[in-house]
Amino acid sequence: FALFGTPSGGLKTAAVGGWVKEQIANMSVYGAFINSLRSDWKRLIDDRRADPAPPVRFNLTLFAGWEDNFVPQEAALDPFPFNDKQILPGNHTSMIKPESEKELVYQWVKKILGRVSQRRQVARQSQDAIQFINRIHAAVDIGDADELAAMADRLGKLREADQPPL
């Protein structure tokens, strides 16, 4: 799941223009809608992260525009304490309209969709397989060559023993 420049923490500027339109009032950092949204998210998601069987599993990547004057980075990123947070070049609109495959937003979306595809491929596999794949992704993301080598060694030994990888 990815959010691009979403004012999940509310907007301070919406408090000023809230009288113009209800949608603007709903985005106010001080408004009932944002407070209810944050409270529900905390209760349903954040407070249940440690549950052995949470009601839903998903990865959340949050994006903010480096030059976004409409939705400040703190409004898009700060409400979520443990998720993947990225800052993209551009403003509220341009950060989501890549002109080529070389742009950062394109690369991130490709990465996210690749993970979805990989999860679908292992959907019928054991939790151990899914956790192993997640460990590989994490090791790649942080550049942990030692961990990657250890996992490759483990897979090699299992293959030599003609056992399923996980």
CA distance 82 to 60: 9
**Which of 36, 29, 44 lies closest to 76, judged by CA?**
29
For residue 119 the two structure tokens come to 């999860």
Q: Flag whether pLDDT at 163 surpasses 70.
A: no
Residues 6+ apart with CB under 8 A from 115: 59, 137
pLDDT tens per residue, range 12-38? 877 565 556 777 788 888 888 999 999
Q: Flag whether pLDDT at 157 surpasses 80.
A: no
90: left (phi over 0), alpha (psi -120 to 50) or beta: left
What is the model's pTM? Answer: 0.63
Q: Flag whether pLDDT at 57 surpasses 80.
A: no
**Which of 43, 15, 18 lies closest to 29, judged by CA?**
15
Region 57-83 average pLDDT: 88
Q: Look at residue 72 in the predicted model and tell me its pLDDT.
A: 92
pLDDT tens per residue, range 102-156? 888 888 888 887 776 666 655 555 667 777 777 887 888 888 888 888 888 887 7
CB atoms within 10 A of CB 102: 8
Give how far Cα 29 sits from Cα of 2, 8, 24, 58, 110, Å: 21, 9, 11, 26, 32
Give how far Cα 155 sits from Cα of 20, 144, 148, 151, 159, Å: 61, 17, 11, 6, 6
Amino acid (one-letter) located at 164: P
